[in-house]
Structure 1
Amino acid sequence: MTKHFRPLGYTAAAVAALALASSLSAQAPTDTMMNEQVKSYDWVRPQADYVRKTVMIPMRDGTKLFTVIIYRKGTQDGPILLSRTPYNADKMSSRNRSQKIEEILPVADAEFVNDGYIRVYQDVRGLDGSEGDYVMNRPLRGPLNKTKVDHATDAYDTIDWLVKNVKESNGKVGITGSSYLGFTSLMALIDPHPALKAAVPQSPMVDGWMGDDWFHNGAFRMFGFDYDLGQTVKKGGGDVPRGGGDDYTAYLEGGSAMDYAKAYGLLDLPVVRKVLEHPSYDAWWQGQAVDKLLGARKLTVPTMLVVGQWDQEDSYGAPAVYQALKAGGNDNVSLVIGPWRHSQVNYEARELGPLKWEGDTGLQFRTQYMKPFFDCHLKTNAPACDTPPVLTYATGENKWEVSQAWPAGAYTPLYLGANSSLSWTKGASGSDSYVSDPAKPVPMLPRPVHMKGDEWKTWLVQDQRFADGRTDVLSYQTGVLDKPVHIKGAPKVDLRAATSGQDSDYVVKLIDVYPQENTADPKMAGYQLGIGIEIFRGRYVGGFDKPQALEPGKVYDFKWALPNVDHVFLPGHKIMVQVQSSLFPLYDRNPQSWVPSIMDAKPKDYVKATETVHFGGDQASAVWLPVAQD
């Protein structure tokens, strides 16, 4: 037996020091005054359990896009899961500088890379590591884009390169992502590459005027200027520098959208000028509406559309695309509505504000539905597909449900009535009035209002008792329910109203009123939970591309939809509808006098107006609920 002897007098520490000295002596000698900055450091070490590559993929016009490719070591015959992002692909794929693949990638990627998927993130052209010019939500080639490239061609060229150069793949690609990444996922479906076999666009930006990020039914979201500044400025970007106080006060003092933009130097941003130049639903907006673009084509890629029931940013897009595709006879599209805020599907989703679910609903969806959907379309030896046509989470009863179509309920009117009542039957004619004062708009949240962080993420489930009882808010409610009312679809507003002004906004809130005594969850006692909240700008009553002054005193029929929901109003609860004329500072104030563009309204244009809501008889206001027959 061989024995190893340590020299006398040498401790373990001394031996280690000798080894270190020997290692350092092999390096180049150092000078105390040499430049101690080094060019780079590869933080992915040999002991990492994954491979992480960065490449510049050439597009058809020669522009190269920065792309990160990640997979677990030993992966072979792996499907590719692609996301195209404006939010820095390098950072998105290096959440932690770890040597474990689950630690560097977003939480939602773990189930995929642990099952042999190859994860790919790419910067869209013009941002972060990619070459080229950046255009916000770059339109499809055509009247609004005279170049030969767009997100559809960039996705095609990227997929073409990946399947030819990533030898560990099986040549099949899926695409996914939320919000802007949902938009780029949808654009990849237009004239798609043959290797694109499945798509899961989540909370996609689809129509910025009708109901996603910039406008809702004509009412402008001024806080979008923060996004514009952060997204399109190379140096000095970020939020508009209005300070960290009450956003209600800051926007009120800022005045109209144009005056606010001028005060903070935002007119230097091309994207801001574009939005201000197009206050109505003109050809510029319509030509970018992705639901219209996809609805005019045959869908060749199986697609699962995903949205949160309380998505505070992009509630409109996914259901709009679903309806457009189904109207075009496409059967390879499904819809998912989860109990989530914007993009919460990709995070832990056990709760939203005060609401608690049965387990982590985000994880449940990803493992039980999303991954099986990709597996059956992307794996080499694919399992059979069993994708639900429509998957929704019934809040109130807190369980997943499968439906064959959407909406899944029969529309039934719930009528506004006398004495602040709501009824399934039409009552006698009458009306209620309130004074809307643009100098004192109804806040979206109890003040002080902060449009960032958790307040913004959960504002749609805010207790509405802070607004109930205001003199400029009308509240109508049913009696105590003796049986559940289950709604599955987008409630529809039919509001018969008149104004003393020449323009007006109307906000309708559908609310679940909890019992005044609730020992099972005391903090929810009496809670007024918003189930659907949406605005309509009155000047568009004759068409979203045809703004018109309202005739004072004339009763108009204002019609619009609330967000899509699956919700159960439980026995012992009440249903409430609130009506008001502002939701500030989420939406800009309507001056209530006639101005050609509200964007450019001046202080003198903002006037008080009396708003009259009619009910019963021939002028019966109602909210039509898609009631399911359980």
Structure 2
Amino acid sequence: MGSMRVSLVAVMLALPPAHASEGAVSLSDIPRQFEPVLPAQDFVKRVVMIPMRDGVKLHTIIYVPKSAKSAPMLMNRTPYDATGRSTRSADSASLLGALPTGDEYFVKAGYIRVYQDVRGKYGSEGDYVMTRPPRGPLNPTETDHATDTWDTIDWLVKNVPESNGRVGIIGSSYEGFTAAMALLDPHPALKAAVPQGPLIDAWMGDDWFHYGAFRNIMLGYVHMQTGQRGAGTIAPSDTYDKYEEFLRAGSTGDYMRSHGLAQLPWIERTMAHPAYDAYWQGQALDKLLAAHPSKVPTLWTQGMWDQEDIGGANRAWRALKAAGSEANNWLVLGPWNHNQVKAEGSSLGPMVWSEDTARQYRRDILLPFLDEHLRDGPPSGLARVTVYNTGEKRWERFSTWPQIGELKPLYLSESFKLSFDGPAQSSGGDAYISDPAKPVPFLPRPVLDPFGDLTPGALGTSYEPWSKWLVADQRFVDGRTDVLVYETPVLTQPVHVQGIPIADIRAMTSGTDGDFVVKLIDVYPKKDPLNAAVSGYQLAIAMDIFRGRYRESFEHPSAIPANKPQQYKFELPNVNHVFQPGHRIMVQIQSTLFPLYDRNPQTFVPNIFNAKAVDYKKAEITVLRSKQQPSAVLLPVVE
């Protein structure tokens, strides 16, 4: 053994020095420079900084198939890192493997793909403003997302010789917002737009508020997006359960201040505008688009269980239709949650569809639409409106939406029943105590921060329950005395609802403010021999929350007169669903949905963000159900 060791040392000493300077010895196996030989790629990737009209340059990545000739361009404008957002595999030899899976059909069709960081994020210069408003009273600068898109398209058509000079813009969520913003001042080369689940009116029913109730759970997103220029991070919390954390903090304003969020300009502006004043109205894209309609063919796309931006595409579509601009606008409503349109769509929670509906949309609706408008392809033959029937698991085509017809009231009745027959009693109601100290959770606890463990280009484990909360089994609130539950008998005939249900609640409160949450639920049979997962399942078809102080005016809130009947009437999200025989229809009513939405102190205060501990008081809520004060959910029933 000793002689072998000596021989090994001698061999090592005899090795020639690797990259050693004269007089020095190196044994490193890592060369100073190494360039691996990669497989030949079927595309060219160009990274450019495109100048805007004010001199700011935006980081842009262009993927050009090597076979491209007179090809259309399709662009995403993102605050989520264009490099990471566009790259599935940096070393892929094929464009199909390099780009996200949602780009499959664009790649196969030979599209040039463009991804760009919005102003002020990641590789782009300039200042970032969360959902930057259009130029005008709320944005005194010369630029907004419309001008940045215009300038980008102008550069692309002049500098990408493989293109046919036509550009489409597409995107989901914030990218849907930037796609919609481009329509306010479209470049002549912008020939198609596809806003998917876009933020359109952030106060009425998208990211920040729903009918005046503030969405606490989105504060993690705000922190992630505006705390730094690059990849978002959220300061760690000492509490695992967001329910406990928000409850312990007091008001949402107290939470913001104690967690350092009040340093963020967006937080400061939002706390100063709790009502639907000129600040929010001036950013409502449905109103702006209707006042300045474009001629760009636009495919509005919406998930029917979108947990973040469920109102956006619907509001834009309806506003443009009302303004007489239906001819160049189409609407698609699919059985998806937020962003699922660009992912896998064969199921949502325990609900399994007949096929991958998102892939079907991309193949049979989206690509034909883009081909028609970006490359003179054959007419797509799209119906003006295409909506998935979530009860019969099939797509349906319509000439308009919502369907024209009368709404059929489903009345709250005595003994906690639902009936299409109006109440016969001259008085009657059901009461519960709403206690701000014990709010009803929107998910079974613990409630995790959906943005707390996100990493660039990936979804964290805490995002999973958040992404499916709208289809969560509502049995988790069984037994709570602050949730009223009304049901029909077991159905013997199908009930098809198609359109926009309306909650029409007549109620009294002992407080001077309060919220109302209404859920329209499909109750599955107690035992399903084919799918045990849905046995007895309570699937919310539509739900929303309404802040009582805005019952008369969204801009000018007013105290609720204590113990006097008031009407709370508001739209629920779109539905196209069949309640099947053997199922039951359920309506749940409650006053809190926490910590998704902030707690109403149930005492009228000028600004709920600044409510004090003494303002939070129990209130007795009485939901009325008499001939004089009938409460109902108005259903768009198809006879």
Task: For 1:178 and 1:202, locate their aligned partners in 2 and report how far apart those are by CA, in whole Å.
Answer: 4
Distance 2:23 2:195 in 1: 54
**Aligned counterpart for 2:444 among listed residues 446, 450, 474:** 446
C-alpha contact (below 8 Å) 1:44/1:99 kept by paired residues? no
Aligned to 2:356: 360
| 2:50 maps to amino acid | I
Matching residue of 2:505: 495
1:314 to 309, 312, 324: 309
Q: Is 1:70 matched up with 2:66?
A: no
CA distance in 2 between partners of 1:173 and 1:340 (Å): 27
- Quote the offset at 1:34 in angstroms: 13
Q: 2:434 aligns with which of 423, 436, 455?
A: 436
The residue that corresponds to 2:604 in the other structure is 594
Task: Please name the residue that 2:523 is paired with.
Answer: 513
Which residue of structure 2 lines up, in the alignment, with residue 579 of structure 1?
A: 589
Q: Distance in 1 between matches of 2:403 and 2:195?
A: 22
CA drift of 1:561 comes to: 0.9
Structure 2, unaligned stretches of length 5 or more?
1-16, 451-462
1:286 lines up with 2:286 in the alignment: no
Q: List aligned pairs for 1:271-350, cutoff 5 A.
A: 271-330=266-325, 331-350=327-346
Aligned to 1:124: 118
Q: Letter of the aligned partner of 1:107 in structure 2? A: T
Following TM superposition, by how much is the alpha carbon of 1:298 offset from its aligned partner in structure 2, in angstroms? 2.6
Q: What's 1:55 paired with?
A: 48
Please tell me whether residue 402 in structure 1 is matched to residue 409 in structure 2: no
**Partners in 2 of 1:147 and 1:39 — Cα distance?**
49
CA distance 1:532–1:34, change in 2 (3 Å) = farther
Q: Deviations over 1:62-101 (max 9, x none)?
A: 1110000002221111100011000000111212222221
Select 1:207's aligned residue among 201, 212, 220: 201
1:39/1:593 Cα in 2 relative to 1: closer, same or farther (>3 Å)?
farther
Alpha-carbon distance in structure 2 between the residues aligned to 1:68 and 1:312: 30
Once the two structures are superposed, what CA deviation does each residue of 1:443-500 show, in whole Å capped at 9, x if it has no partner? Answer: 1112222242210011111111111331000011111111111112121011001100
Is 1:607 the equivalent of 2:608? no
Which whole-Å CA distance do the structure 2 matches of 1:81 and 1:31 have between them? 56
Equivalent residue runs for 1:214-225 within 5 Å: 214-225=208-219
Counterpart position of 2:127: 133
Opposite residue 394 of structure 1, the aligned amino acid is N
Q: Quote the offset at 1:250 in angstroms.
A: 1.1
Aligned counterparts of 2:23 and 2:160: Cα–Cα separation in 1 = 41
Q: Indicate if the aligned counterparts of 1:512 and 1:528 stay in contact, CA closer than 8 A.
A: yes
Cα 1:177–1:108 change in 2 (3 A) is same
Greater displacement, 231-240 / 419-428: 231-240
Equivalent residues of 2:20, 2:26 under 8 A apart: no
Aligned pair partner of 1:256 in 229, 251, 270: 251
Q: Please say if residues 49 and 100 of structure 1, whose CA atoms lie closer than 8 Å, have aligned partners that are also in contact.
A: yes
Inter-partner Cα distance in structure 2 for 1:372 and 1:169: 19
Distance (Å, rounded) in 1 between the aligned partners of 2:580 and 2:245: 40
The superposition leaves residues 545-590 of structure 1 with CA deviations (integer Å, 9 ceiling, x where unpaired) of 1111111001111011111121111111110000000001100101
How far does residue 36 in structure 1 lie from its aligned partner after superposition? 12
Instruction: Give how far 1:604 is off.
Output: 1.3
Aligned CA-pair RMSD:
2.3
CA distance in 1: counterparts of 2:201 and 2:36, whole angstroms: 41
CA drift at 1:319:
0.3
Asked whether the 8 Å contact 1:409–1:488 carries over to 2, the reply is no
Determine if contact 1:65/1:129 at 8 Å carries over to the other structure.
yes
**Structure 2 counterpart of 1:495, one-letter code:** I
Q: Which amino acid aligns with 2:214?
A: F
1:197 and 2:197 matched = no
The separation in 2 between residues aligned to 1:352 and 1:203, in whole angstroms, is 16
- 2:151 match: 157
In structure 2, the CA distance between the partners of 1:396 and 1:40, relative to structure 1 (3 Å rule), is farther
Identify which range, 261-270 or 424-433, moves more after superposition. Answer: 424-433
Following superposition of structure 1 onto structure 2, how do residues 38-49 of structure 1 map, counting pairs within 5 Å? 45=38, 47-49=40-42
Secondary structure of the equivalent of 1:465? helix
Cα deviation 1:404-452 (Å, max 9, x = unaligned): 1111263211111111011111115310000000000001112222242
Structure 1 residue 25: deviation in Å?
Answer: 10
Q: Describe the shift of the 1:36–1:562 C-alpha distance in structure 2 as closer, same or farther (beyond 3 A).
A: farther
* Gap change, CA 1:150 and 1:257, over 3 Å in 2: same
Deviation at 1:504, TM superposition (A): 0.3
Per-residue deviation, residues 498-543 of structure 1 (Å, max 9, x unmatched):
1000100100000001111211212211111111110000011111
Residue 461 to residue 143, structure 1, CA distance change in 2 (3 Å)? same
- Identity over aligned pairs, percent: 53
Is the 1:429–1:620 contact (alpha carbons within 8 Å) kept by the matching residues of 2?
no
Distance 2:238 2:301 in 1: 35
Task: Encode CA deviations 1:41-78: one digit per residue, 9 max, x unaligned.
Answer: 99994611211110011111111100000022211111
Q: Are 2:512 and 2:560, in contact at CA under 8 Å, matched by a contact in 1?
A: yes
C-alpha contact 1:225 1:240 (8 A) present in aligned 2: no
Indicate yes or no: 2:178 matched with 1:187: no
- Alpha-carbon contact 2:18-2:26 (below 8 Å) kept: no
| Residues 221 and 37 (structure 1), Cα distance of their counterparts in 2 relative to 1, 3 Å cut | farther
- Kept in 2, the 8 Å contact 1:53–1:68? The answer is yes
| Aligned position for 2:456 | none
Task: Work out the CA distance in 1 between the residues paired with 2:563 and 2:321.
Answer: 41
Question: Paired residue for 2:367?
Answer: 371
Cα 1:344–1:398 shift into 2, 3 Å? same
SS state at 2:628 partner? helix
The answer to whether 1:545 aligns with 2:547 is no
Contact 2:519 2:542 in 1 (8 A): yes
CA distance, structure 2, for counterparts of residue 65 and residue 495 of structure 1: 50
- Consecutive unaligned residues in structure 1, runs of 5 or more: 1-23
Question: Judging changes above 3 Å, is the alpha-carbon distance between structure 1 residues 92 and 38 closer, same or farther for their aligned structure 2 residues?
Answer: farther
User: Is the Cα–Cα contact under 8 Å of residues 344 and 362 in structure 1 kept in the other structure?
Assistant: yes
Q: The residue matched to 1:90 in structure 2 has which SS? A: helix
Aligned to 1:9: none
Label 1:30 to 1:616 Cα distance change in 2 as closer, same or farther (>3 A): farther
State the match for 2:85 in structure 1.
92
TM value normalised by structure 1: 0.93
Structure-2 residue corresponding to 1:7: none
Is the alpha carbon distance of 1:395 and 1:261 closer, same or farther for their aligned partners in structure 2, counting shifts above 3 Å? same
**Distance 1:38-1:571 versus aligned 2 partners, 3 A rule:** farther
Using the alignment, how far apart are the partners of 2:628 and 2:24 within structure 1? 92
Q: Which residue of 2 aligns with 1:79?
A: 72
Q: Conserved in 2, the CA contact under 8 Å of 1:86 and 1:127?
A: yes
Partner of 2:413: 417
**Counterpart secondary structure, 2:604:** coil
Q: Decide whether aligned partners of structure 1 residues 240 and 542 sit closer, same or farther in structure 2, where only a CA change above 3 A counts.
A: farther
Q: Kindly report structure 1 stretches of 4+ aligned residues shifted beyond 3 Å.
A: 24-46
Q: How far off is 1:28 after superposition? A: 11
Q: Give the SS at the match of 1:617.
A: coil
AA aligned to 1:598 is I
